[in-house]
Amino acid sequence: MVLKVFFPSCCSSAESGILIGRWISEQNSAVILAVVHFPFIPAQVKQYLSEVQQVTKVNVSVLGSWSNSKQEKEESLSKFLEDLGTIFAHEPWIQISKEGDSKFWNCSTLQKHSNNPKEEEIILVYYDQRKVMLSHLHPPLDTAPSTDHTSDDASKLSAVFDTVARSKVLFMTDRYDDGPIKLTHWQSDGVEASIIVELLKQAAVPACMLLTFLLSLIAGVCRSRVLKVWPLSFLWSKLSTCEQLGHRLQHLQLISSNKKAQTQAQLMRKANIFVSLLIDVALGILLMSWLYRKNRIGHLADALIPVADHVAEELQDLLQWLMGAPAGLKMNRALDQVLGRFFLYHIHLWISYIHLLSPFIEMILWYVGLSACLGLTVALCILSDIIALLTFHIYCFYVYGARLYCLKIYGLSSLWRLFRGKKWNVLRQRVDSCSYDLDQLFIGTLLFTILLFLLPTTALYYLVFTLLRLLVVIVQGLIHLLVDLIDSLPLYSIILRLCRSYRLA
C-alpha cells in the first residue's frame, strides 16, 4: 500500500537529524512534527518523547532520519543514519535526504520485518505547520469512539490535523531554551507571542472579576421586589429599552464569566458578542458626540413640539374629512358626528398634555441622550419608545375603532344566525338550528338591519385607524430590525472568514 509522509515546510531547511512524529498505522501514514538535531543522547530523547506523550496524549515516536548535507552525499553519514534505525526501533524506518542545493529529495524506507520485498510507493505531502495547527478541522474529542465503525467514519485527513493541533506543547520549546534536545519546528526560531495579547490576558482576569461583581449587583437590584410592583412591571414589559438593556446585561454576564469556553462554538459565540458590544458602544459614543455638538439636542427638542402639533392637525383634518362624505361614500350622519367629535376631543386632550410637558422636553432629551453611551442599540430603542409615546393617541384610536368594529361584527354574526333560524351551541362548539319566538325574531331582525346599515361607517373608521397604526408599527418594526441586526450579526466570524480563513473550517 502507498505510504504517505506529511512533512512540515518549516523543516525543509533544517540541519540533519532524526524525525519525530506520529505513525497512523491504519492509514499507513506518518505525520512528522519536528526534527531532533545532533548531538543527542537516545535515552534522553526517549524520555522527552514519553513526557510529551503523557501531556498531549499523542503517540509521538521517532519515525526516521533526515539528512540535509551541504556537500556531496557522505557515505558514513548515511550508514550512521541507518544504524540509528536499530536504536529507535520503528517499522518502517523513513529516510528523507536532500543534497546541497538540489531541488529533488530522496525518500526511502527500510523494512526489516516485511513479508513482501516489493518497493512501495511513497507520497510526500508538504504542509504548513502553523496553519494546520490553527485550522479547526479536527473533530471534537467529546464524541468518544463507541463502536469500531467510528474510526472508519471519521475523515482520514482529520487525524493529521488532530495530531498537529494536539501537539501544541511540543512547539513551545524554541532554540533559545537550554535543554538536552534541540528541535526544529515552526516556532523553533522563537515562540510567537504578542506583548499586547499577553498584557490583555493578564489584565483580563481582574477586569472580568470586577465586571462580574458589578453585574451581580445590578442584576440583584433589578430583581428586587420594589421594581416588580404591578404598574411598574407592566411599564417595563412595554418599553423595548428595558428589554434591550436586559439582553445586553445577559451578554455581559456571559462574557465576564470565569469559566473558559468548552467548545469551539461557545468560544465563537463569546467572541461575537464581545465584538458586537464593542462596535455598539463605539457607534453609540460617535452618535452621542455628534448629537451634543452645536446644541443639536436643543434643536431637536424645539422641533418636537411643532411636529406633534402638525401630526395632530393632520389627524383633525382627516377626521373632518371622515365626518363629511369621504371618497364619495355616504355615512350615517348621527353616528359619524358622534364618533368624529369623540376622537376630536381626544386629540384636543392629547395636545394639551404635550403642551404641558413642553418646558421639560429639552432636559428630558438631554439626559436620555446620555444613555446613548451604553450603545447604539439602546439609543435606537429609546427612539422607538419615544415614537410609541408620541403616537399614543393613534394607538388609542386604533383600539377604540377595533373594539367597536369587533363588537359590531360579533353582533352581526350572531343576529345573522338568528335571521336564518340557527344558534351557536357553546357546549358543542357548533351551529345548531333553533326555533325562536315571534317577538325574538322581530327584534332580532330589527337590530340586525340597524347594525348592517351602520356597518360602513364603523368599518371606514376602523380601516383608517388601522392603516395609521400599521404605519407607526412599520416604522417601529424597522428600528427593531436594525437593533436585532446589530445584536446578532456575527461580526467576529465574518472578519475571521475574510482575513484568516484557515482558522474557520
Q: Does 259 bind another protein (CB under 8 A)?
A: no
Output 23 or 448, the one with its CB closest to another protein: 23
Indicate whether 152 belongs to the interface with another protein (CB under 8 A). Answer: yes
Q: What would the DSSP string read from start to end of 289-303?
A: HHHTGGGHHHHHHHH
Pick 149 or 260: Cβ nearer another protein:
149
3-state SS, one letter per residue, for 402-420: HHHHHHHHHHHHHHHHHHH
Q: Which three cell numbers stand for residue 83?
A: 544504524
Using rule CB under 8 A, residue 149 touches another protein: yes
Stretch that binds another protein, among 35-43, 56-64, 121-129, 370-378 (CB under 8 A): 121-129
Question: What is the amino acid identity at position 255?
Answer: I
Measured from the CB atom, the residue of 32 and 291 that comes closer to another protein is 32
C-alpha cell at 489: 450579526
CB of 152 to another protein, least distance (A): 6
Which one of 79-87, 118-126, 249-257, 307-315 is the stretch in contact with another protein (CB under 8 A)?
118-126
Smallest separation, CB 170 to another protein (Å): 25
One-letter amino acid at 164 equals V
Applying CB under 8 A, which part among 52-60, 72-80, 149-157, 261-269 lies near another protein?
149-157
Closer residue to another protein in complex, CB, 28/216: 28
Q: Which residue has the cell 557515505?
A: 75
User: Any contact of residue 148 with another protein (CB under 8 A)?
Assistant: no
Question: Which residue in 137, 157, 287, 387 binds another protein (CB under 8 A)?
Answer: 157
Residues 9-48 that bind another protein (CB under 8 A): 25-28
Cα separation, 82 vs 55, in Å, equals 30
In this chain, which stretch among 9-17, 104-112, 119-127, 396-404 interacts with another protein, using CB under 8 A?
A: 119-127
Binding-site size, another protein (CB under 8 A): 17
Residue type at position 197: V
Q: Are strands 29-37 and 183-184 parallel, antiparallel or unpaired?
A: antiparallel
Is 437 near another protein (CB under 8 A)? no
The grid cell for 233 is: 412591571
Q: Are 269 and 250 in contact (CB under 8 A)?
A: no
Other beta carbons less than 10 A from residue 415's beta carbon: 20
Nearer to another protein, 6 or 343 (CB): 6
What is d(CA 207, CA 49) in angstroms, rounded to the nearest whole number?
A: 39
| Residue 121 binds to another protein (criterion: CB under 8 A) | yes
The CA-based dihedral angle spanning residues 56, 59, 62, 66, taken in that order and rounded to the nearest 10 degrees: -70
Asked if residues 17 and 35 have their Cβ atoms less than 8 Å apart, the reply is yes
Candidates 55, 89, 125, 446; binder of another protein (CB under 8 A) is 125
Residues binding another protein (CB under 8 A)? 1-2, 4, 25-28, 121, 123, 125, 149, 152-157
